[in-house]
Structure 1
C-alpha cells in the first residue's frame, strides 16, 4: 500500500466551544490571517456561524478544507445522510472536504458496520470528498477496517499533545497509513505555561504555542488549535519554528496521560 498524499493543511482552526458571534468572528479572523482549514461538528452548534464566516470571506471554495462530524444520535440509517445534508445547509456548502464519525458511540447502539456504510454513502453521493473517524481506538479501528478499506479512512482525529502523546495509537495509525489529526494541542492552555515548553520557545525566539504546533507537525500530525484572538491566530499560523531532535525528545518526555476529553460514552482508551 502506498502512502497517500494528504490534501488537508497541516494546521487548521478548531471551533470546539466557540458559539454565536464569537464563532463567526474567530473563523472570520482565522481566514483573514491565512488559515484555509476549518474544523467544526454538528454538536458544536456553530455550523451556521462557521458557514457565514466562510461565505463572507469570499475565498474560493477550492482553496478551503472544511471538516464536520456526525453526532452520536445520527449514527443510524434513518438519520445519517439527512443530518449531513442539514450540516451542509448550515455551512452554506455543496460538500465538505472531510466528514468524520465524531465518536464510536451510537446513541442506540447501532452496529459500526451500519454507520460506516452510511459514511461511505455520503462520499458516493458527493456530500464529502473524504471520510474518516474521530476518537477511535486501536480496537475501534480494527473493527472499522472490517467495513471500510483502510485507504478510505482519511484520518483519525484524536487528542494528542505533550501531556498525552498517544504513541501506541499513533503507531497503529501509521502502520495502516491512517493520518492523525491532533485536537486540544494546548491542553486547554495548560501546556503553554509548562517550563520545558517555555524554555524551548525562548531558545527559538518563539511562543509556547508555536513550539507545540511545531512538535505536532514534526511528528507528522495535523493539528487544529482554537483561538479567539487575532494575535494568537497570527502566531499559530507562523510556522517559523523548526525543532531539533533534542527539543522533540524533551517534549515527548512531558507525557503524563493527562487526557482532557473523556465523556462517559468514550471508548476504552489505549494505554
Structure 2
C-alpha cells in the first residue's frame, strides 16, 4: 500500500499539480507558477474534444470486438474442451503476451499493407492504415485480457445449472442467454476494464498502423516530447484519467471489480 501511494498516487498528484504550471516562452523550461490557462485551452479547444471522442469510440469499439470474440472462445475453453485441451488453449491465449508489443504491432502493419498478405488473399481489398487498422490491431493486442477473465467466469458456473436448465426444457441458446450470461457478465465487464483503459491510453499502435489518425495518446506525446510543453501535456492527461475513473464507477455497479 505504501508503494502504491508513493509511486502511483504520488505521481498522479504531481501530474495534477503540473497541469497548473506554465512554461518559459524563451527557454521552454517548466515554471512552477500557477495558471489555469492549460485547462482552459484543453476545455475550449474543439480539436481536443474531437480527438477525445474519437479515442473513446475506438476504445469502446475494441472492447466490443474483444467481448464478441472472447465469449464463445471462453465458453468453449471452460465447458466444451477436455481438461488437457483446456490447458493447451489457455497457454495458446496467453502466449502472445510474451511476445514484444512492437513485434505484434508491426506484424499487423505488414498484414494490413496494401501489398501485404491480406491484400493478396482478398484480391486487393484491405483497410490499409487508418482508424480501422487501429481498432483491429488494438483488438488483437488486448484480446487475452478479455478472454482470461471471461474464461474464469464461465469456469465458475456450475455444470448443474446447464443440466437443470435442460431438464426444465430450455434450449442451449436459452440457457446461455437467460442463465449463463447474466452470471458471466461481471467477468465480461472486468475484462472490458483492461481493454478499454489500455486502448484509451495507447499511442504506439496508432502511430504504427493508424496512418494520419490521431488519438489522445498521440496528442499528449506530441505536446510532451515534440512541443516540450509538459504542463499542457499534463492537462491533456487528465482527460483519459477522468474517463477511466468514470468507466470504473460504471463497471463497479456490475460487480466487475470483484472479478478483476
TM-score > 0.5, shorter chain as reference? no
Normalising by structure 2, we get a TM-score of 0.23
Greater fraction strand: 1
Larger radius of gyration: 2
Greater fraction helix: 2
